[in-house]
Amino acid sequence: MNQPLEPDQKSNRADLLRRILDAITTETELEKLADRVAELVVDSVGADVCFVHLVEADQVHLGLIGATPPYSEQRGKIRLAVGDGIAGWVAQAKVPAIVPDKWNDPRYEYIPALGGENFQYLISVPMLRPGGRIVGVLNVHWTTTPEDPDSLVRDLQYVANLFAANVEMAAIVEKLERREQQLETFAANTIAAQELERKRISNDIHDGLGQLLHSSLYHLDAAMYPENIAESRIAIERAKELVLSAIKEVKNTMTRLRPGILDDLGLIAGLKSLCASIGKPEVVSELPEELGEGLSSAIEITVYRIVQEALANAQKHSGADWASLKVWVENDPTVLHAVVTDDGNGMEVENGFGGFGISGMKERAELIGAQLEIYSRQNFGTRIHLRVPVT
């Protein structure tokens, strides 16, 4: 049974409870909330530092979203796979971990920016919602061994679960806001891109189709008033060649507007033909025979365009010897995966991307509720993984 609290302990507890309630009722911004959670956790268990990791939407990564100073500036820079490190282990097992000696704990992963060498004792607890859904993980460190770790775990688990709903709500709100902003940017970019495309198509029609039809008219005119019948035949032959070129030109223009192959032969054939069109690097493809029912044309065109841009980038920028496209469908829930990999120069993902290609891929994915992950390291190639939920 708990010991009765001394008067000043009582007022500390009351103060802490007031601050926790204040954070729960007033803080809606994810970053600020996460920093408040870290601060309150440290105060409630007498720890030295606390890190708040959030389970990301893909359910396979954890991102640092808040911490006590001076580590709060690491927010957004630290990312772990579920299963990696102590926090990753806790996210997977959904139970707390007490780590008295991290250097001899095989689960521990040293991240220099988080200063693990400055702390001795670590307790990690999952932030759980009713039903066992995990929202995040709190990693709490002490410079010395604290007393009664079991009761600390109980207190921490209580505080972690108390904050889980708010953190989850704030994360959802932030995601919705980001999505709304992306939709606005996408709409603006789409209009700008459409204008550009229209100009390009109008120039193409003028310079290509227009010239071909003009020239064929000229030859047909010549054929009407020939010096002799042979000359007329040559002029008509020439006009016919030009009309055939014009038909080809019309098809090319239409393909740029919407890849006709999707309508005629479907997504798999479209992807095969994309791979074949690259040349260098040679693209090895691993595609299923068919993709089953339920792929909307929005999904088809998004997958096609994203793979097209990823392969075009591999061709233009990677200097790779080989590239591959792998597509498969996972069931329960149904998710279409498309992965484009190259073994080229790679790039620094942290530095962001210069062109419109990658941002366009991300926007397209976002619009159909898909996720696009880019894994790349300089000199180690690039892998682009698209996950499309199929409902």
Ligand X SMILES: Nc1ncnc2c1ncn2[C@@H]1O[C@H](COP(=O)(O)OP(=O)(O)OP(=O)(O)O)[C@@H](O)[C@H]1O
Residue 110 in contact with ligand X, rule: CB under 6 A: no
According to the binding rule CB under 6 A, does residue 72 interact with ligand X? no
Contact residue for ligand X among 260, 355, 369, 389 (CB under 6 A): 355
Residue where the block lists tokens 């000229």: 218
Task: Find the binder of ligand X among 132, 351, 354, 379 (CB under 6 A).
Answer: 354
Our finding on whether 344 is near ligand X (CB under 6 A) is yes
CB 348 → ligand X: shortest distance, Å? 9
The upper half-sphere exposure of residue 295, i.e. CA atoms within 13 Å in the direction of its Cβ, equals 19
Position closest to Mg ion via CB:
357
Partner whose binding site includes residue 136, from ligand X, Mg ion, none (CB under 5 to 8 Å by kind): none
Q: Does the footprint of ligand X cover residue 342 (CB under 6 A)?
A: yes
358/372 with CB nearer ligand X: 358
Which lies closer to Mg ion via its Cβ, residue 86 or residue 320? 320
Interacting partner of 226 out of Mg ion, ligand X, none (Cβ under 5 to 8 A depending on kind): none
Q: Which of residues 359-388 bind ligand X (CB under 6 A)?
A: 382
Site map 278..317 versus ligand X, x via CB under 6 A: -----------------------------------xx-xx
Question: Considering the complex, what minimum distance in angstroms separates the CB of residue 163 from ligand X?
Answer: 38
**Shortest spacing between CB 358 and Mg ion, in angstroms:** 7
314 binds, among ligand X, Mg ion, none (CB under 5 to 8 A by kind): ligand X
Which chain residues interact with Mg ion by CB under 5 A? 313, 355, 357
Gap between the Cα atoms of 50 and 27, Å rounded? 18
Nearer to ligand X, 49 or 283 (CB): 283
Q: Which residues bind ligand X (CB under 6 A)?
A: 313-314, 316-318, 342, 344-347, 353-358, 382
